[in-house]
Chains A and B, each alone.
Chain A
Amino acid sequence: MSENGEQRKTPLLFVQGRRLYHLVVDAFRDLTPVILVVAVFQLLILKQPFPHLEQVLTGTVLVAAGLFLFIRGLEIGLFPLGETMAYDFARKGSLAWLLLFAFALGFGTTIAEPALIAVAGEAAKIAADGGVITPNTDNLEHYALGLRVTVALSVGFAIVVGVIRILKGWPLHYLIAAGYIGVVAITPFAPASMVGIAYDSGGVTTSTITVPLVTALGIGLASSIKGRNPMIDGFGLIAFASLTPMIFVMVYGMLLQ
């Protein structure tokens, strides 16, 4: 994105030629490995014809177009927004507002996350199978909702802790190591049936749209505070957000046992 492009009156819909070319090439390059793997396994190892080749090709073009628009949207929308808000919070100097924002962002984006909704539904089935709850629709829904709220709370908590870390400049690895010890220490006490779900829940909480915004927030904060290095201090919010759900979900399983 060139400086000129930012100042023109209507630079939004059209990317400059060379940049457009690169974005399109990148989008197709990103997809090549998936297509290769699927084709090789389908044709050479399973020895089966490619089903609906035409559909697959249109789908691939859609995916590439989607990737292209998504990246462009991040460049002009989500990244600048996250960083501007971080600067504004730093300039305003109100810790309470910043932490409230951090919590709301973590909680709000996680509670509606589709992958989490799916995982919570599975966990409710496990609990019903294990006799923890009586298997009727009401109980299952209750259990799943409780789990979603738990994970969302844990992500909100994680972003708050992560933001405080950036402000104070604490080294990330001590906190992460403490989190690891927490996970390992709780595992023996958690219901065995919940451990797999709990470990997986760490990975599914951060969606494709949350990640860029949270990353931009961290980097914006780290670069607007004196003495913080965006590389060392700015990253790390996502790491917390993938660690705390494991602990919270296991504790949830223990409490309802």
Chain B
Amino acid sequence: MKALADLFAAFGSTLVDILPIVIIVFGFQWFAFRRPIANPRRILTGFIYVIVGMTLFLVGLEEALFPVGRLMAQQLTAPDFLGIGHDDAQWSHYIWVYLFAAAIGFATTIAEPALIAVAYKANQVSAGAVNAWALRVAVGLGVGAGLALGALRIVTGTPLHLIIMVGYIVVIVQTFFAPRQIIALAYDSGGVTTSTVTVPIVTALGLGLAGTISGRSQLLDGFGLIAFASLFPIITVLGYAQFAEWRLRKLKKRDDAESPEPE
């Protein structure tokens, strides 16, 4: 019975999510172009697939992953597990938390549907030059690094904006050296990382961490993990593009050296 209720709840929230899109798209189709949509059956089937797909996806997450993920986030941040009191906590006591943040950040990002969509499109538009899987791994590494650092920040209490500012400077400097083709995609990949899968587990982690450390307020310090998870992928994707370009240049140089000089 509960599973059925979950199913309807997920279906409802997906409908609410997609309804504005349907109204806007069909409204504009009618008022701006004054003609019906091309291929209506195909588009409609696509929409139904998306709605049913998202519903199953959400219900499955709620059944399988979220309860365990949330529980783990609470258990890992509990002083009992870490073997420390509330007051003598030091940043080094939380190694498992950083590791968990990094691992779960990477893993949930790989399963994030919005990122799959963007990677798919990037692969298509670049005619295969951007490898969809490599892009997703680069973004996943960025989210993992961002969340680990974000957890460390909650423990040490460093002001959020200082680290974000340093991140911005790194992004801007990297932009000057990265291949031009990748810049827009890299900036976009910051925004697509945190939606359906990542946010619920990450929120539990942040609130759990801020709740167990004395002097941290859940409301003030529990936030900021999402901000990190949106900033660091930009750095890793730009870095990946720089690395790919560097390797290509190196290979080319070697090829040039190996091929006999024309005389």
Residues of A within 8 A of B (CB): 12-13, 30-31, 33-34, 36-38, 40-42, 45-46, 48, 50-52, 55-81, 84-85, 88-89, 92, 94, 97, 100-101, 104-105, 108-109, 111-115, 122, 125-126, 129, 172-173, 176-177, 180, 183-184, 187, 192-193, 195-197, 199-200, 202-213, 215-216, 219, 223, 229-239, 241-242
Asked whether B191 lies within 8 Å of A241 as measured between CB atoms, the reply is yes
Distance, CA A81 to CA B44, complexed state (A): 10
- Given contact pairs A172-B187, A209-B17, A37 touches B104 in the complex (Cβ within 8 A): yes
- Among the listed B114, B126, B172, which residue makes an inter-chain contact with A212, where contact means beta carbons less than 8 Å apart? B114
Asked whether B63 lies within 8 Å of A56 as measured between CB atoms, the reply is yes
28 A-B pairs (CB sep. < 8 Å): A30-B116, A34-B107, A34-B108, A37-B106, A63-B111, A71-B113, A73-B47, A74-B50, A80-B46, A85-B25, A108-B20, A114-B13, A114-B17, A122-B223, A177-B172, A202-B227, A206-B114, A208-B117, A209-B18, A209-B50, A215-B118, A223-B125, A231-B125, A233-B184, A234-B125, A235-B184, A241-B191, A242-B190
Question: Which residue of chain A is the closest to B197 with respect to CB atoms?
Answer: A34
Stretch touching chain A among B30-38, B86-94, B242-250, B251-259: B30-38
Question: Which residue of chain B is the closest to A33 with respect to CB atoms?
Answer: B107
Q: Which of A51, A173, A210, A241 has the most CB of B within 10 A?
A: A173
- Among the listed B61, B125, B160, B175, which residue makes an inter-chain contact with A196, where contact means beta carbons less than 8 Å apart? B160
Distance, CA A63 to CA B230, complexed state (A): 24
**B window 172-194: CB within 8 A of A:** 172, 175, 180-181, 183-185, 187-188, 190-194
Distance, CA A146 to CA B81, complexed state (A): 41
**What residues on B are CB-neighbors of A38 within 8 Å?**
65, 68-69, 72, 104
Interface presence of B19 (CB below 8 A): yes
Asked whether B160 lies within 8 Å of A199 as measured between CB atoms, the reply is yes
- Among the listed B41, B108, B172, B222, which residue makes an inter-chain contact with A180, where contact means beta carbons less than 8 Å apart? B172
Distance, CA A230 to CA B185, complexed state (A): 10
Asked whether A78 lies within 8 Å of B46 as measured between CB atoms, the reply is yes
Question: Which residue of chain B is the closest to A73 with respect to CB atoms?
Answer: B49
**What residues on A are CB-neighbors of B55 within 8 Å?**
66
Interface SS of A by simple majority: helix
Say how far A45's CB is from chain B's closest CB, in angstroms.
6
Distance, CA A149 to CA B256, complexed state (A): 59
Known A-B contacts: A63-B61, A231-B181. Give 4 more (CB < 8 A).
Answer: A92-B33, A202-B226, A208-B195, A229-B181
Asked whether A104 lies within 8 Å of B227 as measured between CB atoms, the reply is no
Asked whether A13 lies within 8 Å of B187 as measured between CB atoms, the reply is no
Asked whether A61 lies within 8 Å of B60 as measured between CB atoms, the reply is yes
Asked whether A42 lies within 8 Å of B68 as measured between CB atoms, the reply is yes
Asked whether A197 lies within 8 Å of B50 as measured between CB atoms, the reply is no
Asked whether B184 lies within 8 Å of A60 as measured between CB atoms, the reply is no
Question: Which residue of chain B is the closest to A82 with respect to CB atoms?
Answer: B25
Distance, CA A67 to CA B193, complexed state (A): 16
Say how far A7's CB is from chain B's closest CB, in angstroms.
11
Interface presence of B56 (CB below 8 A): yes
- Among the listed B17, B27, B52, which residue makes an inter-chain contact with A69, where contact means beta carbons less than 8 Å apart? B52
**B window 206-263: CB within 8 A of A:** 219-227, 229-230
Say how far A236's CB is from chain B's closest CB, in angstroms.
4
**What residues on A are CB-neighbors of B224 within 8 Å?**
196, 199-200
- Among the listed B50, B110, B194, which residue makes an inter-chain contact with A33, where contact means beta carbons less than 8 Å apart? B110
**What residues on A are CB-neighbors of B103 within 8 Å?**
37, 40-41
Question: Which residue of chain A is the closest to B10 with respect to CB atoms?
Answer: A66
Say how far B203's CB is from chain A's closest CB, in angstroms.
8
Say how far A197's CB is from chain B's closest CB, in angstroms.
6
Asked whether B188 lies within 8 Å of A235 as measured between CB atoms, the reply is yes
Interface presence of B4 (CB below 8 A): no
Asked whether B53 lies within 8 Å of A200 as measured between CB atoms, the reply is no
**What residues on B are CB-neighbors of A57 within 8 Å?**
64
Interface presence of B145 (CB below 8 A): no
Asked whether B110 lies within 8 Å of A30 as measured between CB atoms, the reply is yes
